[in-house]
Structure 1
């Protein structure tokens, strides 16, 4: 059975478990000329999330239907939300699960200036809790990321870098983190917490990056630093600030940037 797909003008019922408990998953997909970018990575992550949470996975036909139709702009963002559906007393899930699939497409314009000029990022005070059963998947409960993003309101700061409660770098508030050390591009393992991005997955599959651990205090000593995701692309980091706003490190822009170029080729925005 296909999970019901709700159009934009339909409301979510009060007893929806995604609304009540964050019991569900989401994907944010870049559309270029109406076609989803890195689609198989998004559907694979969603399937993995469904398996972890015990939610019946939508069939490919239902997922593909969310991006059908004429594009409204060269670039759009498709937001998918999949919840366990309605019902259940308290935290107990209903005897029969009927997942609810919602989708919305909105026009989008990537920040080319950030690609070209780089960005300033800061360290966050908030520490991510470790929970391996939720690590990697994009579940609906993003309260840690929301609290971390509340730590600054300076528009000149593009992102905040998060570590876990063991002091290891995990991710940025809405992007993955990559760094260069001894000429090699690395990214955290994300086996304890954090979201395993689809651009990150594609770069790992292409052998462009490797997984490694990095303590938060070591971040200022890396050769280069980037934040990236499948919607925004790759932003080179030119300044790293401490949580109190003091400068920890500056990196010069490197042009050409082979890592950024490959990532943007995978996104079709090179």
Structure 2
């Protein structure tokens, strides 16, 4: 399986002067494809638009992006679609060009294979030494600067460890290297405040909406490492994995899946089974 479109045309080359290469000046979205259709398309487009507004990059026409996405995804039962949006080439040094010409890349990738037990019995995780820097202007959006996550993911090679949890420079819990983090403490769902750093995941929002429908109280709040010790349940989310219960962080074990996690995991899978654009 392969397929790449650069500004709507088949190809694998972009200019060496492109600012995504030079400076990481751009955004991306990673989208699950099921039965030839991108999941939660509208939510991904809303986040991409928010990122464009933050960075001052022109938002491509979502109808054009959808047409190209469907072209790549046609006939695929399950796949991963990645959209990269660069500011384009030009500008002197870091200064953006006065009239940028954004460049878009859509690429299709095989669906990753993980053990079924990750969903049924939970995953083992660790705490990463690499910390996330705080920058409210970039918080929440999915920008191309991912060196913190690259360094964090390089900290372990053990296949038994599925994910690493990251703190920020002030010691606050933020997220996993590729996922959002949720805790359940005394029946209350908690997820870290992402106003200073971190990615506001699409599946994170799906979970919060599901909790609201079920009447599960939830908090978006500041959390520290010690809060992991006080939680009875943990789980991780992103657009590809859906929801993974966490059975271990370091040497601390958790119920996996716990009762609240099980309810929300079902809601996530129900949402994913409804293909929407």
TM-score, with normalisation over the residues of structure 1? 0.91
Partner in structure 2 of residue 212 of structure 1: 221
- Matched length: 260
Give the CA RMSD over aligned residues: 1.7
Q: Does 2:66 align with 1:64?
A: yes
Pick aligned residue for 1:108 from 105, 111, 115: 111
Q: Does structure 2 conserve the Cα–Cα contact (< 8 Å) formed by 1:73 and 1:107?
A: no
Q: Does the 8 Å CA contact 1:220/1:240 hold for their aligned counterparts?
A: no
- TM-fit CA distance, 1:201: 1.7
Cα distance between partner residues in 1 of 2:189 and 2:60: 35
Query: Paired residue for 1:82, among 82, 85, 91?
Result: 85
Q: Cα distance, 1:94 vs. partner?
A: 1.1
**1:47 Cα deviation from its structure 2 partner:** 0.2
Unpaired runs of 5+ in structure 2? 1-5
Aligned position for 1:19: 21
Secondary structure of 1:128 counterpart: coil
Corresponding position of 2:185 = 181
Bigger shift: residues 64-73 or 146-155: 64-73
Q: 1:229 is matched with which residue?
A: 238
1:121–1:161 contact (8 Å) kept in structure 2: yes
Q: Which residue of 2 aligns with 1:123?
A: 127
Q: CA deviation at 1:233?
A: 1.1
Return the alpha-carbon distance in structure 2 between the equivalents of residues 12 and 179 of structure 1.
42
Judge conservation of contact 1:127–1:163 (CA < 8 Å) in 2: yes
Instruction: Tell me which moved more, 105-114 or 212-221.
Output: 105-114
Q: Tell me the CA shift for residue 7 of structure 1.
A: 4.2
TM-score using structure 2 length: 0.89
Give the aligned partner of residue 244 of structure 1.
Answer: none
